[in-house]
Amino acid sequence: MTNAAQIESAAPPARVAADHNGDKRQNLANGQIRMAIDASSAPLVTETGSTTLCLLGGPLLIENGRRLEIPEGGKRLIVFVTLHGGRISRRSAAGALWPHGNDERAAGNLRSALWRLRGAGIHVLYADKCMLYLDPEVSVDITQLSQWATRVIDGGAGGADFLRVHVNPEVLDLLPGWYDEWVIFERERLRHRLLHAMESLVRQLIAHGQFADAVDMAVTAVGAEPLRESAQRLLIEAHLAEGNFVEARRAYTAYCEMLEIELGVAPSDELTEIVQAPTEDHNGCVSVR
């Protein structure tokens, strides 16, 4: 029978490189996000024989396509190690997760949590005498999502059919109901990163003439943060790029009313100018400033 001592002696395995050819379709966060990504820039992709740790809609594990529930006593430990780069000292983890009581008691709680995880068939954490490690072969959904966001923001997204993403707004709220400072910090960091990526994607979609997708993504961004002017502006620009001035004006009016009710302020002059004076090219198409 596996005991705590056996778990203590486990060492993190080396990462095995994988070669991904062709377009890959991946499901993250239990199907909440779907991305078609060019393989040349794709992050780790969930495949047969792999394990994915889902913090969005979780935490839970997907192993060989099978969902594994993480015991309550081990969830915070796995999330803590993951959000600290997959490697942290035992002392730091024990002190942060079990702050009440002395160091010896906290260390005992840590050993018990590791033992319960292994007993439940969860083999994603390794430990030596000083450190805790997340198995480097385990892919993490928020890591994949952050890598996607970086590619989009940097203009590196690509593919034969251009990048198309359908985002459930719920993924913008990492671990709702968790109020630890280390969770709140990562939640806000990821939320802003994704909002910037979504806005960047709207611009790229407009530039490629994919106006329906641009409007759809802009609506998602606005729904996630209704008072965010940069998101509202891109929604208006997407409508104008498609030639739908009435829709653009409707979105602008709704935003003005919301700002007045919520904050008692008006939108910026730059935003107002967009809907007041759209320009037309020689073909009569509305263009965006």
Query: Quick one: tokens of 17?
Result: 């490189």
CATH class of 4-11+44-136: mainly alpha
Residue 230 to residue 274: CA distance in whole angstroms: 13
Give 286's strand partners. Answer: 280
Give 62's strand partners. Answer: 52, 67
**49: confidence class by pLDDT, cuts 50, 70, 90:** low
Residue 40 to residue 271: CA distance in whole angstroms: 37
pLDDT recorded at residue 101: 87
Residue 162 has pLDDT above 60, yes or no: no
pLDDT recorded at residue 251: 97
| Helical pair 211-224 and 229-241, crossing angle rounded to 10 deg | 160
At position 145, the amino acid (one-letter code) is L
Residues 6+ positions from 154 with CB-CB distance below 8 Å? none
Contact 20, 39 (CB under 8 A): yes
The residue count for the chain = 289
Residue listed under structure tokens 């997907």: 62
Residue 15 has pLDDT above 70, yes or no: no
- Domain boundaries along the sequence of the chain: 4-11+44-136, 141-287
pLDDT recorded at residue 151: 86
Which comes out higher in pLDDT, residue 47 or 114?
A: 114
**20: confidence class by pLDDT, cuts 50, 70, 90:** very low
pLDDT recorded at residue 267: 96
Summarize the confidence of residues 89-98 as an average pLDDT: 96
pTM of the model: 0.76
Give 27's strand partners. Answer: 34
**165: confidence class by pLDDT, cuts 50, 70, 90:** low
Least confident of 15-24, 80-89, 129-138, 274-283: 15-24
At position 13, the amino acid (one-letter code) is P
Per CATH, the number for 141-287 is 1.25.40.10
SS3 for the chain, per residue?
CCCHHHHHCCCCCCCCCCCCCCCEEEEECCCCEEEEECHHHCCCCCCCCCEEEECCCCCEEEECCEEEECCHHHHHHHHHHHHCCCEEEHHHHHHHHCCCCCHHHHHHHHHHHHHHHHHCCCCCEEECCCEEEECCCEEEHHHHHHHHHHHHHCCCCCCCCCCEEEECHHHHCCCCCCCCHHHHHHHHHHHHHHHHHHHHHHHHHHHCCCHHHHHHHHHHHHHHCCCCHHHHHHHHHHHHHCCCHHHHHHHHHHHHHHHHHHCCCCCCHHHHHHHHCCEECCCCCEECC
Summarize the confidence of residues 27-33 as an average pLDDT: 36
Which comes out higher in pLDDT, residue 86 or 17?
A: 86
- Give the percent of the chain with pLDDT over 70: 73
pLDDT recorded at residue 14: 44
Round the average pLDDT of the chain to a whole number and report it: 81
Residue 67 has pLDDT above 60, yes or no: yes
Tell the burial category of 138 from Cβ atoms under 10 Å away from its Cβ (0-12, 13-18, 19+).
buried
For residue range 200-211, list pLDDT tens digits in order.
999 999 998 999
Residue listed under structure tokens 């008691």: 105
pLDDT recorded at residue 134: 97
Residue 23 to residue 21: CA distance in whole angstroms: 7
Query: Quick one: tokens of 115?
Result: 């033992």
